[in-house]
């Protein structure tokens, strides 16, 4: 008897493979630099941990409402209306999921019929397209370009709309490039979706990881009259460093989706961990000053990484406007200098040297000559690892190759980023 072919079309992911390789090396005592993984190094805020402990002492460890505890849904509804500008009628439009990845799975499984097409950015975080495939859908990549700041080109999107297109997926701030979609671009995407009757799936997990001068705009706030066709997804992993607690959010006021989502929540998780939900409530209602502290630390790490990659022949780094990943485009002359065939082999060689990364082809079809470095690991690791990364990419081990300047505001010129 044969097994279902569905999972044969799903990859485990190159990032996972590299992560496992580095963790094994680390267990053997090798010094490694975790530039492959997007897990915030910060501790969960103390008042969140206190709320979790309090809920445990009070016996709040039993089955909870399928769609999320009412107190958390109410707090999320208020936050989404006040902060994101989503004119959701009630807290019944908010669903708590087992992280944002689960939110994506539930959303696509609730929305897509077999063969439905979803326009997605290329490059894009791998699990987005895999969840589309799991739902029977077809991801259609729309190339993003360095020269356009890795924003969607609305004209390019329009060219790829077919009778089978059901939705446009967007992610801002964007993983892996760190691009932030401007209000004008978002309006163009919204207008296209409205003209074609398409759904908008908006992944806003990095909404609070922004750099100076940047604004996060939720596309669902642009037109309350079209909110019925918008699904917005959020996460506690990035804003509150709660990645291991697995709390995500789906926001939709569409009646058909609201009838379907509870069925998938019931059949997949039967409710998110009760203590994690009480922690999430405390995160929302408690002090928010850790958001600014995290942004400052990420900015420092970003600039350390940009300095490390500046002026390397054959490498062009994009200055991220949000998130904690740095995307660099590679030239064959860099491969030749380092004796590797492509970005994939370069990533493997880096891992052997204890330096994490993720090759571009892990994120799409049009980005084979690219590589991503995450700087969500702690600042000391970035300070130590960035010079080693520079030395490796220069193909040199001399002290001169590892000397870095002080992070500066003039990095955009050095890296060629807009």
Per run of 10 residues, the mean pLDDT along the chain (length 418 residues) is 78 76 84 90 96 98 97 98 98 98 98 98 94 96 97 97 98 98 98 98 98 97 98 97 96 98 97 98 95 96 98 97 98 95 95 94 94 96 97 69 38 33
What is the pTM assigned to this prediction?
0.92
Residue 100 CA to residue 238 CA, distance in Å, equals: 10
C-alpha 175/C-alpha 372 separation (Å) is 10
Looking at the structure, give the CATH architecture of the domain made up of residues 6-43+290-415. Answer: Alpha-Beta Complex (3.90)
Class of domain 46-285: alpha beta
pLDDT recorded at residue 7: 82
Cα 380 to Cα 209, 304, 376, 377, 384, distances in angstroms:
20, 11, 11, 8, 6
**pLDDT value at position 396?**
59
Q: Do domains 6-43+290-415 and 46-285 have the same CATH topology?
A: no
Q: Which of 127, 125, 162 is nearest to 144 (CA)?
A: 125
Q: Residue ranges of the domains in the chain?
A: 6-43+290-415, 46-285
What is the reported pLDDT for 337? 95
φ and ψ of 106, to 5 deg: -65, -40
């Amino acid at each position: 008897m044969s097994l279902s072919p569905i999972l044969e079309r799903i990859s485990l992911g190159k990032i996972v493979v590299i992560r496992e390789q580095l963790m094994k090396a680390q267990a053997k005592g090798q010094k490694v630099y975790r530039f492959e993984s997007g897990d915030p190094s910060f501790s969960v805020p103390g008042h969140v941990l206190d709320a979790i402990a309090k809920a445990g002492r009070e016996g709040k460890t039993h089955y909870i409402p399928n769609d999320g505890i009412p107190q958390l849904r109410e707090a999320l509804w208020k936050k989404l209306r006040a902060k994101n500008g989503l004119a959701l009628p009630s807290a019944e439009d908010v669903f708590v999921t087992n992280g944002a990845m689960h939110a994506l799975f539930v959303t696509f499984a609730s929305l897509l019929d077999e063969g439905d097409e979803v326009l997605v950015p290329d490059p894009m975080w791998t699990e987005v397209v895999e969840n589309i495939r799991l739902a029977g859908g077809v991801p259609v990549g729309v190339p993003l370009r360095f020269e356009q700041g890795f924003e969607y080109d609305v004209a390019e999107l329009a060219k790829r709309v077919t009778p089978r297109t059901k939705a446009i997926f967007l992610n801002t701030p964007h993983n892996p490039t760190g691009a932030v979609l401007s209000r004008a671009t978002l309006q163009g995407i919204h207008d296209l979706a409205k003209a074609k009757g398409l759904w908008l799936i908006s992944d806003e997990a990095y909404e609070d990881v922004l750099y100076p001068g940047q604004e996060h705009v939720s596309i669902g706030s642009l037109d309350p009259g079209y909110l019925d066709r918008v699904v917005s997804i959020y996460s506690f992993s990035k804003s509150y460093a709660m990645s291991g607690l697995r709390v995500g959010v789906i926001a939709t006021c569409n009646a058909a989706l609201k009838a379907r989502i509870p069925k998938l929540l019931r059949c997949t998780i039967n409710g998110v961990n009760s203590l994690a939900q009480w922690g999430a409530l405390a995160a929302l209602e408690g002090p928010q000053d850790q958001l600014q502290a995290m942004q400052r630390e990420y900015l420092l790490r970003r600039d350390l990484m940009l300095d490390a990659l500046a002026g390397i022949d054959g490498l062009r780094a994009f200055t991220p406007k949000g998130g904690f990943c740095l995307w660099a485009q590679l030239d064959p002359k860099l491969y030749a200098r380092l004796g590797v065939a492509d970005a994939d082999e370069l990533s493997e060689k880096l891992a052997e040297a204890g330096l994490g990364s993720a090759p571009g082809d892990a994120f799409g079809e049009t980005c084979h000559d690219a590589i991503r470095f995450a700087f969500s690991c702690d600042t000391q690791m970035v300070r130590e690892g960035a010079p080693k990364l520079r030395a490796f990419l220069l193909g040199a081990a001399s002290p001169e190759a590892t000397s870095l300047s002080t992070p500066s505001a003039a990095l955009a010129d050095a890296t060629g980023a807009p």
